Amino acid sequence: MSSEIYLLYLAAVAVFFATPPDTSQLLIISNAMKHGLRRSLWVIAGDLSANVIQMTAAAFGLAAVIATSSQAFGLIKWFGVAYLVWIGLRLVLSNKGQGAAQAAHSTHPARLFRMGFVTSMTNPYAVVFFAALFPQFIDPTAAILPQLLILGATYLVVDGITLVAWGWAGDRVAARLGRTSFALINRVSGGLMIGAAILLGLRDVAPPR
């Protein structure tokens, strides 16, 4: 892969993320507002871990299986929608004075990691996206695996920086509102999660042709 092709890929990925927040980014904003940026890093870790699996699946051709099975495609997507709605409603309907044990459970690293991982993994479009993106920048005359590793690592770095930036913004907003405004923070955070579910649900159920 030449330096010119790599820079073109880097620009393409940067443009891809220079958009209004998507499902994963809304999830990060929501968690950063509720738990702070440091805690939301576990959500980011879960999201990026799912991306690694999706990239691997795309590299091994599983994208073709997903793209030809409307039923599997739809089931994966709607599971993710239901999961986000459930989390969002719990926040919106939660009581202001939650106990210390419940608060500790809601911010447990494993729970936050799982939230980011499940949300990202239930987006079946990601595998198809990687399968469509990477071949555009691969030199077939050179070793394929090193190129895939470079493309994948670059995507993860740009994605991670973007998610941290959105999380920082959410953390700053919550700091301005005041961390003690539990009811308002819960409603805003829950609303963002439900918004993320709506974004995922509004996408076409049928896989790309």
The CA angle 64-67-72, to the nearest 5 degrees, is 115
Give me the pLDDT at residue 102, please: 44
61 φψ region: left (φ > 0), alpha (ψ -120 to 50), beta (else): left
Give me the pLDDT at residue 103, please: 44
CB-side neighbour CA atoms (13 Å) of 65: 8
Give me the pLDDT at residue 66, please: 61
Mark the ranges of the chain whose per-residue pLDDT is less than 50: 97-105, 205-209
What is the separation of C-alpha 170 from the centre of its chain, rounded to a whole number of angstroms? 15
For CA atoms 21, 24, 27, 31, give the dihedral sign: negative
Euclidean distance between CA atoms 193 and 29, whole angstroms: 9
CB 138 within 8 A of CB 5: no
> Each residue of 96-114: pLDDT tens digit?
544 444 444 456 788 889 8
Give me the pLDDT at residue 163, please: 92
Q: Please state, as a whole number, how many other Cβ atoms lie within 10 Å of the Cβ of residue 99.
A: 9
Q: Which tokens go with 9?
A: 């890929």
Give me the pLDDT at residue 48, please: 93
Which of 85, 93, 89 shows the shortest CA–CA distance to 183? 93
Euclidean distance between CA atoms 71 and 207, whole angstroms: 9
